[in-house]
Amino acid sequence: MSGHCDGGLRSNIEPNCLEKREIMKKTLNKMAILLLLGGVVFTAQATTPEEDRAAFVKHYKFRFPDVPMEEYPNGAYAIDKIGRENWEAIEEFPPYEPFIDEGQEMWDTSFANGKTYKDCFSDGPGVASQYPRWDKKQGMVITMALAINQCREANGEKALKYKKGPIVPLLAYMAFESRGQVTNVVIPEDDPRAMEAYEKGKKFYFTRRGQLNFSCATCHVQNTGLKVRTEVLSPSLGHTTHWPVYRSKWGTAGTLHRRFTGCNRNIRAKPMKAQGEQYRNLEYFLTYLSNGLELNGPGARK
């Protein structure tokens, strides 16, 4: 009597049909997921960080044979000629300059206890290439932003917010002082948790999220060079070299984790906490990909 089970009034009373409708519903959900995952073939394999990095390099070299590696720190402007002209004009009077000055003032100002940032960062402000790094004692990835707040708290100062506000100028100054250094993320072999953190970051990068069911890779690997509204999608090589960024759309400068938040929101995925474990691991993976690329922060973007 399956003919009665197609949504007519009677089907509501027949228990058999109710069951069928349940199955239908489940199938529909399964189909939704299949649709969500649609079209992309996967490979499950264990790869080393160096193999990962090599795969990204190979991918972008194939897609953009004319773009030399040292251009990747410039993001979308490495591959988008028109955007690049505007950007070069902007870089003549860099909108992030006031942030560098303000950050230097912060760096030079002592805490209430008389100590300064220099007491935490003994190598001085130009230490961006030392981050993110695995901290064996704390058992976690330490980013430069987190190190700043750990320094503040150790000296009785309040932690700063992680997406915008006063942490940005300080990061800008430190980034500026680090210009010319080379990205060099290390995954120490004497602590398996470091590789775990890298793997978690990699997993986050390749996981499809949000109502749009996109992963970072969907936009920044598969569709790099294509346009989303008015923006050209940048390659992930170079994604981490130039933070913080003055973004015209923001009308101010913001941090890398603010950008992660925005990219998650764009696909209607609930963002993670800035400087929470997920985003720090993501930064660890993402920065590793840029190993060998020069640091050129702070940056300016549309």
Active site residues: 263
DSSP helix/strand/coil, 246: strand
CA 252 – CA 247 distance, rounded (Å): 6
Spatial CB neighbours of 46, under 8 Å, sequence gap ≥ 6: none
Query: In which residue are the tokens 């790869």 written?
Result: 47
Site string for other proteins, 56-85 (x = CB under 8 A): x-xx--------------------------
Which of 5, 57, 127, 263 is in the footprint of ligand HEC by CB under 6 A?
263
Count other C-beta atoms under 10 Å from residue 182's C-beta: 12
Kindly report the CA angle at 176 between 286 and 122, in degrees rounded to 5? 90
Out of other proteins, ligand HEC, none, what residue 194 binds, judged by CB under 5 to 8 A for its kind, is none
23 scored as a contact of other proteins (CB under 8 A): no
The yes or no reply on residue 259 touching ligand HEC (CB under 6 A) is yes
Which position among 199, 259, 286, 288 is part of the footprint of other proteins (CB under 8 A)?
199
The contact pattern for ligand HEC, residues 282-301, with x = CB under 6 A and - = no contact, is x---x--------------x
CB 277 within 8 A of CB 220: no
> Does the protein bind ligand HEC through residue 40 (CB under 6 A)?
no
DSSP state of 170: H
Touching ligand HEC, residues 72-101 (CB under 6 A): 75-76
Q: Does 43 bind other proteins (CB under 8 A)?
A: yes
> Distance between CA 284 and CA 240 in Å, rounded?
10
Residue 216 binding ligand HEC, by CB under 6 A:
yes
For the beta sheet containing 299-301, the strands, ordered from the edge strand earlier in sequence to the opposite edge, are 252-254, 245-247, 299-301
Residue closer to ligand HEC by CB (options 25, 265) is 265
| CB of 27 or CB of 248, closer to other proteins | 27
* CB of 74 or CB of 104, closer to ligand HEC: 74
Identity at 234, one-letter amino acid code:
S
